[in-house]
């Protein structure tokens, strides 16, 4: 088992040495799928999902029984530049709401039979404003990555990572700009008006060029946030534990992007839960080579879209593992 890394260099090593899917379990799942009582391919993407899940769990007839949802929260110095429709105090207020059970993710996790954890990360110590200097030092980023790494439950069998952080669509857009390039990564986030959006786009472009030319993990330190780094750490840990991951919206995918830029195979254990209404999310998913399971116009974060997609992954496994074969049911094959 890979030890918890303590530095950005350690995380880079953890991402260079990744377990692969179990090809035998995938082949066994595919063979079973071919004899289930349905026309071949009639369950569409559910069939691929079941085979993908079987491979990561190393079991031909898996079930989703212990999903874990982790919501990481962080505060962002760049909020001083007026990049969000909401004030930064909302982050700590929403953490209290999560802890009291009053947020959307509380209901969605309950409804998906998932264990929910909320991990606030130094909320009284926002990251530095990255238009003025790096958001985090490399050791601070490593600490946040480690917090994510540690939060994953070894016995979970599906992981959703979500976030709460006023200002974090600006950080996510800056990461995408620096790591992928081009413009148009800034969006309305919590609901910026046109003037706010053009100010945000300028800030994102300026920050990305100020912190250009760094490695992906150093870019994460310079432009990310603690909750973004923690999501990246949790996704990496899940890979080492062979726990499949459902990705959430734009910010979650920006965290995943950092891992993808270190090692393009680092997200093979991840599926895109949904396409967020944040304008650049679709483009980010395309870059990651992921097709979203749901498209419901959500732009909440908190892991909400991914928590909804737990139902889809669970249903895929229920069909795959519970259905009768043609021989068992005495149904004639075509
Ligand atoms: O998941 C998404 O795609 C998403 C899109 C827009 C906003 N959010 C949430 O809204 C917050 C960030 O928005 P903002 O405008 O403050 O950058 C943060 O708490 C996110 O969880 C999330
Ligand atoms: C109220 C509120 C709830 C959220 N949940 C995730 N991001 C959020 C942003 C706001 C503003």
Predicted pLDDT of residue 2: 80
Q: Check if the beta carbon of residue 202 is closer than 8 Å to that of residue 98.
A: no
Cβ of 248 less than 6 Å from ligand 1: yes
Instruction: Select which of 89, 302, 328, 333 is catalytic.
Output: 302
Which ligand has the minimum distance to the alpha carbon of residue 162?
1
Q: Is 278 exposed, middle or buried (0-12, 13-18, 19+ CB in 10 A)?
A: buried
- Nearest alpha carbon to residue 3 among 231, 232, 237: 237
Predicted pLDDT of residue 86: 98
Q: Kindly give the distance from the C-alpha atom of residue 136 to the centroid of ligand 1, in angstroms, as a whole number.
A: 20
Predicted pLDDT of residue 320: 98
- What sign has the CA pseudo-torsion 11, 12, 13, 18? positive
Write out pLDDT tens, residues 189-219. 999 999 999 999 999 999 999 999 999 999 9
Low-confidence ranges of the chain (pLDDT < 50): none
Protein residue whose Cα sits closest to atom 11 of ligand 1: 166
DSSP letter assigned to residue 130: T
Q: Kindly give the distance from the C-alpha atom of residue 164 to the centroid of ligand 2, in angstroms, as a whole number.
A: 7
Domains contained in the chain, CATH given = 19-62+321-329 (1.10.1610.10), 67-319 (3.40.50.10210)
Q: Kindly give the distance from the C-alpha atom of residue 260 to the centroid of ligand 2, in angstroms, as a whole number.
A: 27
The C-alpha torsion from 146 through 149 and 150 to 153, rounded to 10°, is 170
Q: How much is the pTM?
A: 0.99
């Amino acid at each position: 088992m890979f030890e918890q890394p303590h530095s950005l260099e350690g995380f880079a090593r953890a991402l260079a040495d990744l377990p692969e899917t179990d090809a035998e379990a995938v082949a066994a799942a595919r063979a079973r799928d071919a004899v289930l009582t349905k026309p071949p391919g009639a369950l569409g993407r559910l069939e691929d999902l079941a085979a993908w899940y079987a491979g990561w769990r190393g079991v031909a007839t898996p079930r989703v029984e212990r999903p874990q949802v982790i919501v990481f929260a962080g505060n962002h110095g760049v909020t001083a530049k007026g990049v969000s429709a909401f004030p930064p105090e909302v982050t700590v207020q929403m953490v209290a709401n999560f802890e009291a059970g009053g947020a959307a993710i509380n209901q969605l996790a309950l409804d998906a039979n998932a264990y929910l954890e909320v991990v606030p990360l130094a909320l009284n110590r926002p990251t530095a404003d990255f238009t003025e200097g790096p958001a985090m030092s490399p050791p601070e980023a490593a600490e946040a990555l480690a917090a994510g790494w540690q939060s994953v439950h070894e016995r979970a069998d599906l992981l959703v990572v979500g976030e709460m952080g006023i200002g974090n669509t600006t950080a996510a857009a800056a990461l995408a700009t620096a790591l992928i390039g081009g413009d148009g990564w800034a969006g309305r986030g919590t609901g910026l008006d046109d003037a706010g959006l053009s100010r945000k786009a300028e800030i994102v472009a300026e920050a990305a060029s100020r912190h250009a030319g760094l490695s992906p993990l150093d870019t994460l330190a310079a432009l990310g946030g603690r909750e973004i780094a923690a999501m990246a750490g949790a996704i990496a840990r899940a890979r080492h534990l062979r726990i499949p991951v459902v990705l959430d919206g734009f910010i979650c995918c920006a965290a995943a992007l950092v891992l993808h830029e270190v090692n393009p195979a680092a997200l093979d254990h991840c599926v895109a839960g949904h396409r967020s209404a944040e304008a650049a999310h679709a483009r980010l998913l395309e870059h990651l080579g992921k097709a979203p399971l749901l498209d419901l116009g959500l732009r909440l974060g908190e892991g909400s879209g991914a928590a909804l997609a737990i139902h889809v992954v669970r249903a895929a496994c229920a069909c795959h593992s519970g259905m009768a074969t043609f021989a068992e049911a005495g149904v004639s094959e075509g």
